[in-house]
A and B are shown apart, each in its own frame.
Chain A
Amino acid sequence: MIIDATLPETGRLAHVPSAAAPDRPQAWRQGWRWRPVPLAPWLTRLLLSWPFPLALLALWALAARYEWIAPQVLPAPQVVAHTFADLARSGELFDHLKISLIRVFAGFALGCAAGLTLGVAMGLSRVFKDYVYPLFRAVSQVPVLGWLPLLMLLLGIDETLKVVLIAKAALVPIAMNTYKGLENVPAQYVEVAQVFGLSRRQLLWKVVFPAALAPIWNGIRYGLTHAWLALVVVELLASSEGLGFMIVYGRQLFQLDLVLAAVVVVGIVGYLMDKTLALIEARLLGWRRAGF
């Protein structure tokens, strides 16, 4: 969803219930602490992560089997799986998915380009920042959804609206993080660069941009999750194709299996997009960790 990357990894995630030395007054903790079988930690984690979702699934299946809940309200899991397989086989799912992805990438590319330009301009030029920043802050106070009725009136409800809204959703966090990142480059770095006699261009490319890359990338990740959020909303409200439309359509026909299948796809795509950016981040910023 949207809450990722709110706090930068501090790298000091301490284990709260720490291993107790015998002479410490820790008896009050040992009573309830679960003592793991000495398995590899990743294996323990893997094994432990399954019972809960499986139990939920079983409960869901039982609820559907014995009709504790009406099937119109919660269809059986096998029905959802079946619908999902049908949609995938007929290609319908991929058609909708393709349309949604094209929209989100068009909007994101636009918003990313504009956001980076704006952020870099504000971060590098004091004068430009003085002029633009107050207006930018005021504009970003109105959430994406506040713009929707206005944009619908101005642009109609076709592709332009979707791309513009998605671009707006991506622009704000990217511009903000880029600007803050550039502003917060430690003065010492710049001083060192001056001592070395770097030209302005070298200063920017060798010192300032690499130093600000982490917050900028964070902004880009935020931007993409916001873009995906905006896409779903705008497709729910005004669209005749795409994943959001599938959800609305299923809802109107009271085919909750369709709705659930589409929701799962929305979740998977959001997850994959964020994961991809995280992987690129690890590559791009890998050099930073080497120091520690």
Chain B
Amino acid sequence: MQATLAFILGLPARVPRRLRGWVLPVLLLLFWWAAVRFAWTDSKLLVSVAQVWERAVEQTTSGALWEGLRASLWRDLAGFAIGASAGLVFGAALGLSRLLENLVGPSFHTVKQISLFAWVPLISVWFGLGDSAKVAFLSLAAFFPVALNTFEGIRGVPREFIEVAQVFRLTRLQWLTKVVLPAASPSIFTGLHLGLIYAWLATLGAEYLLVSGKGIGNTMIDGRENFWMDLVVFGMIVVGVVGFILNWAAGLIETRLLAWRGSTLARY
């Protein structure tokens, strides 16, 4: 009896490591399939895997997916570009000038405490419900993390670097582009990366809250209103995949651009 119990408890550790990650997803899918197959509930919300797949094929081939995705991504990137550039300039200015930091910093740190989505109703009054409001909101979402991390990155430049720059008698421009910005770049990239993530989150939020026009968020809202569970599940998968790709691309660019730093690992 005890031997059996020990055997069962030891079972998970016997599965080869590479397969372990697949066990839970497969079990979940099986459970889902069984729930549909044996009709455990008759709720309309229980859709089959096949239905989701059909919906996916229909959305992809009819072009509805691409249309929504293009609208969302365009807004996402436009908002990110505006917000990130503003954040870079603002963060750099604040990082380079103590006076500016003392003047504007406290206000900035106060305003950034306001939960992001609380801005949406205000923005909708100021910019309407169309694309300009959404892009304005996305810029705001990207602005805060980029500005904050740029500021902190520049403030974190070691004093020794600055002293070396003085010894080499660099001009102010050289000092900025050859010393300060490269030294602050890891933190700046962290900010850009975070900005990208928040902009994507805000893209969805903007489409839920400022309902008008096309977008992947609107697709999901449609699905919810019509009780099309298959569309909602499909939308979720698309949102997850897009988020993953944005994340991955940002990580890749970051590694490439920061490759000059090299790895100090195993050099000591």
Chain A interfacial positions (CB closer than 8 Å to B): 1-3, 6-7, 10, 12-18, 24-26, 28-29, 34, 44-45, 48-49, 51-53, 56, 72-73, 127, 130-135, 138, 141-150, 152-154, 228-229, 231-233, 236-237, 244, 247-248, 250-251, 254, 256, 259-260, 262-263, 266-268, 270-271, 274
Contacts and interface: CB of A to CB of B under 8 A. Distances in A.
A149 B224 contact: yes
Contacts of B152: 7
B206 to A, nearest CB: 10
A142 B205 contact: no
Nearest to B108: A52
B215 interface: no
Nearest to B147: A3
B149 A49 contact: no
Given A131-B23, A138-B240, A14 B107 contact: no
Nearest to A154: B45
Contacts of A263: 114, 118-119, 122
Nearest to A271: B113
Interface stretch (B54-62, B164-172, B260-268): B164-172
Interface stretch (B32-40, B63-71, B94-102): B94-102
Contact of B243 (A73, A143, A274): A143
A271 B180 CA distance: 31
Contacts of B169: 25
B233 A142 contact: no
Nearest to B22: A134
Contacts of B240: 138, 141-142, 146
Nearest to B222: A149
Nearest to B121: A251
B194 A3 contact: yes
A128 to B, nearest CB: 8
B158 A2 contact: no
Contacts of B107: 49, 52-53, 56
Nearest to A31: B172
B23 A237 contact: no
Given A142-B243, A154-B45, A266-B115, A149 B223 contact: yes
12 contacts: A1-B144, A3-B144, A3-B145, A6-B148, A10-B156, A12-B156, A45-B106, A52-B104, A142-B239, A228-B115, A254-B125, A274-B113
Nearest to A150: B232
Interface stretch (B12-20, B130-138, B251-259): B12-20
Contacts of A26: 166
B236 A14 contact: no
B118 A267 contact: yes
B86 interface: no
A18 B114 contact: no
B124 A131 contact: no
A14 B169 CA distance: 20
Nearest to A13: B155
Contacts of A251: 121, 124-125
Contacts of B198: 2-3
Contacts of B23: 131
Given A52-B107, A236-B120, A251-B125, A229 B115 contact: yes
B157 A14 contact: yes
A16 B96 contact: yes
A52 B102 CA distance: 10
B32 to A, nearest CB: 13
Given A15-B159, A152-B224, A274-B113, A147 B236 contact: yes
Given A143-B201, A150-B236, A251-B124, A1 B112 contact: yes
Among A49, A132, A143, A248, max chain B CB count under 10 A is at A143
A225 B103 CA distance: 26
Contact of A148 (B45, B115, B208): B208
A47 B164 CA distance: 34
A222 to B, nearest CB: 11
Given A13-B155, A16-B157, A25-B166, A153 B121 contact: no
Give 10 nearest A-B pairs by CB, closest first: A134-B21, A48-B102, A267-B114, A130-B20, A49-B106, A142-B240, A251-B121, A14-B159, A146-B239, A145-B204
Nearest to B161: A14
A89 to B, nearest CB: 23
B84 interface: no
Interface in B230-245: 232-233, 235-236, 239-241, 243-244
Interface string B178-216: 001000000100110010011011001100110000000
Contacts of B81: none
